[in-house]
Amino acid sequence: MPQKRQGFTTMVDLAEFEKTTWAFLVNIKMTWQYDGMAYLFREAGIPLYGVDRGTTKMNHPIAAMAIPMSKDKNYGVDIYVPADRKKKAASLIEDEEKLARAAELEAEVGGEAHARFNEEATEKKASYLEMKKERRRARRGAIFTKLRSLGGSAS
């Protein structure tokens, strides 16, 4: 059974995303950390996959009314990278000052990079969906062929 993707990724090709083995890198709680990582990883050609762990109020919607804002714990975002590039990614984010400078650069050029990513991802998504349709058709055809052969031998 395929895993349900619940996060976000900077990988353009979803078929490649499904084949990739992701390794946990770090949990971050500040948006500037993500901005810095996004910039550094984009420059190094390392895709990332993030899963938002939410807050106490988000994770407990019924009890949220009773939880005061001061007790609302942020669980952050888990960041994953391809397993074969984990060492490189870890070395890129070691220096917090470098990460902060990269976050400032991301604020300047991030919009353009995000627009390019959206264009590329939209193009790739169409071909990915077509590939999934073909796989489904092939699977259905194989099932029907098997059913016909079973029905033919019972006659």
For 32-80, write each residue's pLDDT tens digit.
Answer: 898 999 999 999 999 998 888 877 666 666 766 666 767 667 788 899 9
Distance CA 127, CA 108 (A): 32
Distance CA 138, CA 129 (A): 14
For 85-108, write each residue's pLDDT tens digit.
Answer: 999 999 999 998 999 999 999 988
Q: What angle do CA 118, 130, 7 make, to 5 degrees?
A: 45
Distance CA 131, CA 138 (A): 11
Residues 6+ apart with CB under 8 A from 107: 35
Distance CA 72, CA 55 (A): 6
What is the rounded end-to-end Cα distance, in angstroms, of the chain?
34
The pLDDT value recorded for residue 2 is: 41
